[in-house]
Structure 1
Amino acid sequence: MQRCLLLLICLIVTACGGGSGNSSGGETLGLAERPSNTECLAFEGSGEVQLTPIATSFSFNSPLLMLPHPSQSGIFYVVEQGGVIYRLDLTTDNRTQLADLSETYSLSTCGECGLLGMAFDPAFSTNGFLYLSFTEDTNTGMTSFVARFESADNGQSLRQDTNGALLRNNLLEQPQPFSNHNGGHITFGPDGLLYVGLGDGGSANDPGNRAQNLSTRLGKILRLNPDGSPASNGISGALPEIYAYGLRNPWRYSFDRLTGDLWAGDVGQNRFEEISRITLGGNYGWRCYEGFERTSNSCGDSPSGPFIDPIAAYGHNEGVSVTGGYVYRGNNMPAMQGDYLFSDFGSGTLWALTEQPDGSFKRRTLLETGRNVASFAEDTAGELYLVTFSGLFRIDPVAVETELPQQLSDTGCVQANAPWQPADGLIPYTVIEPFWSDGADKTRYLALPNGTNITVDDSGDLNLPRGSVLVKNFLLGQNLIETRLFLHNADGSWSGYSYQWDDAGSDAELVDGSQEVDVGGQTWHYPSAGECSLCHTAAAGFSLGLETSQLNRDFTYPQTGITANQLATLAGIGVLSEPPTPAQRDQRLSRSTDDSESITSRARSYLHSNCSHCHRPGGTTQSSMDLRFTTALADTGTCGTPPANTDLGRPGAQLLTPGDADNSLLYLRMTAEQEFRMPPISILQPDTEGAQLIADWINELASCN
């Protein structure tokens, strides 16, 4: 009981006054000096592979694809969702613009719209043809196009007509009933034919059962001749261009350069993400099946099968949107020869599938990248790359793989003989508005390598140096139940790990994967490493609560009993490379439970802490919402916006309907069934008090202006 009370005292003392302490620039400091930390440090490497940044001289805006020039080594093309295509020369570190489709065409701008795919004609060296896949707003609504363009200078520019417009030959035109599930990937196969992927048309549960309907292209992979005419697919009763069907939203597929097998990632709905090997005439089950399981959807008059199971599937405790990759056929990582590598846009986990002697496939984790992986790329030598919203990377082997200790007491982040107490080198901190964690109380600590500093960017996010560790304890009642470590590894990746405390409270053991355990009658979810990355997004700066608007509050430091402003203390003891700006010292969130603050400030602070790590530009959701505290309500993309997926059985409901919480998905999804609840990760107990705050705020809104 003593160890539980010690942590409880740490929680209570943060809300109480303390003694007087040192000062810097007239402000009281909570600590006299920065503690030395030589033990609580992140790994040299955290996985079987590492990511090597490339093209670091350039920044990209939502890059979705990278592909090599067909014949010139070191030349790649990077496709941005907004319509820009760059020609990137890695040998000279030079970048030029091939085209910007948004200057010519009305590209759609929703979360799953825009420029989505690019492919070179197999005879590019002689005909100069390349193909682009994109969504465009037309007189009849949003439409998916596959069009052929031409380069007369070996891929340095695209040909234009006499009026300066790009020469464009539309090969395929497909109206889209909804804004999501557009697919859009295109590639040529070893047969010299063009493969085109289209999603099921959008919304939720494929309301038109289009993926099973052989008279529509939606929910299919199509196979075309290079001129756009249907290839000889020959599926009975089907449109001639259909190659395979029963797909929800194929996001990146590729051919094994050795065997010719076609591998695809198919994005799931609320339960499973799939990896499949696609064959001519194959029915991959959606909307009748998701993963290996039968859904509750009626298949209607759809084909009776046989349905083809995926090669592998994973649940939403590991990721939320699969990104298909490649079978590795390079030379730099011989141990992975023949493995299929793939990832998840939400968690950033990099996996490999290895075929077993019985023909099944075993999945293993290669690296927790912590990045939004939009695509893989394969160069002409078979080496693989990642395209992420935070940069481009080559996948390389690591010399030594380091494993985290099994016992928390061996990590160096706690007292070895009293692991319920932090190590001497840790700096405690707290936040103004905590993330909801099923009613648990939390204590937080920061560990920095000696000789390093934290930088603060213009948005107020604290950027931690490599080697840093964040430590968070979770308590239900007075009992420690979990400790999480979040590591900024030496290779630049971030990885999270959970330790489960034993019943005696004497030590905690590393959790393998995710687990759900009964704790005093309440089910507690221990997240997997991949789940940690779903919330700790690159767009939000990974560390989440470590931002000036969250730390700008008084805190009573347990080591000294002194109450002081956290930002002043961190700057005064030399942790921050520069003190926060006056504007950053003037801005802070509100505590959602503080009735002395305005309901608007409290509600927006709650949404910032609980939702904005995903719902912001570059976040892991396909929604275009921006729920950051600093974004004007009219600019959040919520007001008067219909949901892209489910309306929870309320026709006409919008993301936010001023004055009507009962028709606002922003509120309704906070109390929805687990399958549709937000936040979607590790939340088993809905935050009824927080939901009521959001409802009251929405009901008081007269407008979004």
Structure 2
Amino acid sequence: MRLIGLSLTALTIAACAVETETAPTYHSETNPEYLSDWGMISVRDQTLHLGSNVTPYDLATPLFSDYALKLRTVWMPDGTAAQYNADTAFNMPVGTVITKTFYYPTDGGPSTVTYARDRNLNNGVMELRGLRLIETRILVHRETGWNAVAYLWNDEQTDAVVKRIGAVLPLTLNRPDGRSENFAYLVPNANQCAGCHATNATTKAIKPIGIKARHLNKPSSFADGFNQLDHWVAKGMLDADIKGPAPRNADWTDTNESVERRARAYLDANCSHCHNPNGPADTSGLNLEPDAVGPSLGICKTPIAAGTGTGGRVHGIVPGAPDKSILMFRMETSDPGAMMPELGRSVKHDEGVELIHQWIVQMDGSCQT
């Protein structure tokens, strides 16, 4: 999709803004004890408020995290902007602060949760009744590079406290079909944050994962009438002169899209930050980025470094035969030694598993044994 609508004036954007009392603060060296000290998010009277010029955003297909809902925001210092790149994460200025807040609808008590796709933010404000805030993760771009830190929300739901060593929260998930299951929600420690965000196994430098054109190129959920990339350009957040169509991932839930596009978007969002030619899982030889094909995508590929994670299956993907495909086994199992992704999942994503199952069923071809 080409960027459009750039002639809309700043007044259009300002009309959607809500005055807040909180001024964001960039902490250049250390991470403060309380999330509120950043000024990106504050809670007053059971209502969450975004700080001044803190912009919410979302992804065409997000990472699955035990059915948690996520509120994503980005803030950049005045007078700065991200630099557009068609393929990789945008180059964000020093001082950028990205937040991701994980939360659930509650179902009978604060430790009993359920899931939904409803978005709860409206003009920078989110009503918290019936919700439980779990954690907020921050990526901050300092002079020395990107740093990651997680904050755990208190029982009173008034603020979050830094958790450098992570945490494990016992929760009960009530599924819409009536099933209930206990699971352990993981708040990551610093090393675990790096395990996902250090997308290059050689440099091990932490970078944002979702701030890419293909994830952001979608109708804005927060500024009516805008493409999300257009909105960033119009706000001065993105320095871009896009001459052709910007890359675009499908929404994995959009049944108007093909199963192929939806499945590839799902695997990209959930797996490709590790499974790419330079990523932490480069020794596997499996590439789940959008342009991968053939054996590198896993089709008729025998495992290189899967260990016991094959489930006794021979090939990564067997066309037409999901029950013989290692990829399906690793998505279906909850065994910590075999499941994928390794972090951020304790329960099986039923809907995601079904999508990948459909995709493999529709594939033509066969594998030699």
Q: Equivalent residue for 2:321? A: 660
Which digits, 9 at most, give the CA deviation of each residue in 1:445-482, with x for residues without a partner? 00112222111224153121122111111111122111
Q: Equivalent residue for 2:271? A: 611
1:355-394 matches, cutoff 5 A: none
* From 217, 230, 233, the counterpart of 1:552: 217
Structure 2 SS opposite 1:582: coil
Unaligned runs of 5+ in 1: 1-21, 46-401
Cα pair 1:42 1:490 within 8 Å, conserved: no
Structure 2 SS opposite 1:583: coil
Mark the CA change 1:458 to 1:42 in structure 2 (over 3 Å): closer, same or farther: farther
Cα pair 1:28 1:564 within 8 Å, conserved: no
More strand by share: 1
Cα pair 1:33 1:573 within 8 Å, conserved: no
* From 259, 276, 301, the counterpart of 1:641: 301
Cα pair 1:463 1:541 within 8 Å, conserved: no
Cα pair 1:473 1:482 within 8 Å, conserved: yes
1:420, CA displacement in angstroms?
A: 2.9
More helix by share: 2
Cα distance in structure 1, aligned partners of 2:206 and 2:152: 26
Matching of residue 505 in structure 1 with residue 157 in structure 2: yes
Unaligned runs of 5+ in 2: 106-130, 173-181
Cα distance in structure 2, aligned partners of 1:697 and 1:648: 21
* From 72, 95, 101, the counterpart of 1:473: 101
Cα distance in structure 2, aligned partners of 1:29 and 1:594: 32
Mark the CA change 1:648 to 1:544 in structure 2 (over 3 Å): closer, same or farther: closer
Cα pair 1:40 1:469 within 8 Å, conserved: no
Cα distance in structure 2, aligned partners of 1:503 and 1:623: 41
TM superposition score normalised by structure 1: 0.42
Q: Equivalent residue for 2:7? A: 25
Structure 1 SS opposite 2:332: coil
Matching of residue 689 in structure 1 with residue 317 in structure 2: no
Mark the CA change 1:30 to 1:636 in structure 2 (over 3 Å): closer, same or farther: farther
Cα pair 2:98 2:138 within 8 Å, conserved: yes
Cα distance in structure 1, aligned partners of 2:15 and 2:300: 51
Matching of residue 597 in structure 1 with residue 269 in structure 2: no
Which digits, 9 at most, give the CA deviation of each residue in 1:361-420, with x for residues without a partner? xxxxxxxxxxxxxxxxxxxxxxxxxxxxxxxxxxxxxxxxx3x12111222222375783
Q: Equivalent residue for 1:87? A: none
1:580, CA displacement in angstroms?
A: 3.3
Mark the CA change 1:654 to 1:42 in structure 2 (over 3 Å): closer, same or farther: farther
Cα distance in structure 1, aligned partners of 2:15 and 2:196: 32
Question: Whose relative contact order is higher, 1 or 2, with alpha carbons under 8 Å and at least 6 apart?
Answer: 2
Cα distance in structure 2, aligned partners of 1:26 and 1:411: 31
Structure 1 SS opposite 2:149: strand
1:146-545 matches, cutoff 5 A: 402=30, 404-415=31-42, 420-477=48-105, 478-492=131-145, 494-520=146-172, 522-539=183-200, 542-545=207-210
Structure 2 SS opposite 1:666: helix
Cα distance in structure 1, aligned partners of 2:199 and 2:311: 34
Mark the CA change 1:660 to 1:532 in structure 2 (over 3 Å): closer, same or farther: same
1:486, CA displacement in angstroms?
A: 1.1
Mark the CA change 1:29 to 1:639 in structure 2 (over 3 Å): closer, same or farther: farther
1:32, CA displacement in angstroms?
A: 3.7
Structure 2 SS opposite 1:518: strand
Q: Determine what percentage of the aligned residue pairs are the same residue.
A: 28
Cα distance in structure 2, aligned partners of 1:421 and 1:654: 49
**Aligned length, in residue pairs:** 319
- Which of structures 1 and 2 has the bigger CA Rg? 1
Structure 2 SS opposite 1:424: coil
Which digits, 9 at most, give the CA deviation of each residue in 1:231-274, with x for residues without a partner? xxxxxxxxxxxxxxxxxxxxxxxxxxxxxxxxxxxxxxxxxxxx
Mark the CA change 1:415 to 1:514 in structure 2 (over 3 Å): closer, same or farther: closer
Q: CA RMSD in A?
A: 3.0
Cα distance in structure 1, aligned partners of 2:336 and 2:89: 31
Structure 2 SS opposite 1:564: coil
Which digits, 9 at most, give the CA deviation of each residue in 1:179-221, with x for residues without a partner? xxxxxxxxxxxxxxxxxxxxxxxxxxxxxxxxxxxxxxxxxxx
Structure 2 SS opposite 1:592: coil
Mark the CA change 1:449 to 1:28 in structure 2 (over 3 Å): closer, same or farther: closer
Q: Equivalent residue for 1:562? A: 224
Structure 1 SS opposite 2:78: coil
Cα pair 2:90 2:212 within 8 Å, conserved: yes
